[in-house]
């Protein structure tokens, strides 16, 4: 267990790696990667997911491959058991409302992809799967990394929030004093895992002060 104390007005706040147990067992997860900068967020999320515990599917957008080549010198590393699908393979089971995934994460998510999902465009398997997640009231998590934001971006985000999606912008935290780029990225990945309700130790957590 790791504990980091931060004194503020004589009140100690602590961090630990413990958290409540997950609510679900094995999940069918779809991890979609788009062409936004931030490929390491996707890689670290996959690193924290165990295909022996969850059914994991990966989809790459057309531009994701180019960004992956620029940002990950060794390419995207997939653990044995993770299934990758073609962007045009509309016959994947989770692209149908009769067999949806339990959760989908688009990480990182371009504003173009976010906008198309918000407006119901579903002309490839990534967009169709996101559309299915919304209409079937399943968990859809988008991790945008754009800055600054235009009014169009904000309105699209509003539509998605009203439709039931969860937005977790790629805004890392620093209170745990991360010592590497991966540790910084993991502060965002941990929030994604939390919203998937998957137990993880991706980052230390605030704990109540002990008496």
Give the integer Cα–Cα distance in Å for 94 and 193.
20
Instruction: Extract the tokens encoding 6.
Output: 């931060």
Does domain 22-200 match CATH 2.40.40.20? Answer: no
* Confidence at 208, pLDDT banded by 50, 70, 90: low
The structural domains of the chain, with segments of one domain joined by +, span 22-200
What confidence score (pLDDT) does residue 175 get? Answer: 87
pLDDT tens, residue by residue, 167-183: 999 999 998 899 999 99
pTM of the model: 0.86
Residue 108: asked if its preceding bond is cis (omega within 30°), the reply is: yes
Nearest Cα neighbor of 54 from 206, 199, 204 is 199
* Lowest mean pLDDT, pick from 20-24, 45-49, 57-61, 112-116: 20-24
Tell me the per-residue pLDDT of 27-85, one tens digit each, with 9 for 90 and over.
Answer: 999 999 999 999 999 999 999 999 999 999 999 999 999 999 999 999 999 999 999 99
The pLDDT confidence band at residue 7, using thresholds 50, 70 and 90, is very low
Instruction: Quote the CA–CA distance of 181 and 179 in Å, as a whole number.
Output: 7
* Per-residue pLDDT at 205 exceeds 90: no
pLDDT per residue over 132-164, tens digit each?
A: 999 999 999 999 999 999 999 999 999 999 999
């Amino acid at each position: 267990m790791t504990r980091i104390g931060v004194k503020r007005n004589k009140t100690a706040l602590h961090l630990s790696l413990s958290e409540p147990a997950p609510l679900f067992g094995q999940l069918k997860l779809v991890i979609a990667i788009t062409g936004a900068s931030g490929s390491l967020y996707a890689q670290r999320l996959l690193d924290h997911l165990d295909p022996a515990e969850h059914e994991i599917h990966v989809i790459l957008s057309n531009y994701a491959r180019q960004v992956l080549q620029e940002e990950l010198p060794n390419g995207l590393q997939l653990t044995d058991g993770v299934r990758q699908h073609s962007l045009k393979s509309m016959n994947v089971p989770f692209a149908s409302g009769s067999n949806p995934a339990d959760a989908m994460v688009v990480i990182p998510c371009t504003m173009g992809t976010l906008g198309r999902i918000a407006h119901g465009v579903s002309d490839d398997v990534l967009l169709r799967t996101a559309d299915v997640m919304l209409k079937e009231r399943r968990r859809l998590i988008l991790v945008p990394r754009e800055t600054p934001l235009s009014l169009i971006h904000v309105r699209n985000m509003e539509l998605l929030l009203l439709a039931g999606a969860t937005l977790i912008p790629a805004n890392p935290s620093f209170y745990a004093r991360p010592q590497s780029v991966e540790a910084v990225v993991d502060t965002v990945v941990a929030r994604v895992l939390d919203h998937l309700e998957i137990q993880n130790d991706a980052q230390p957590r605030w704990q109540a002060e002990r008496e």
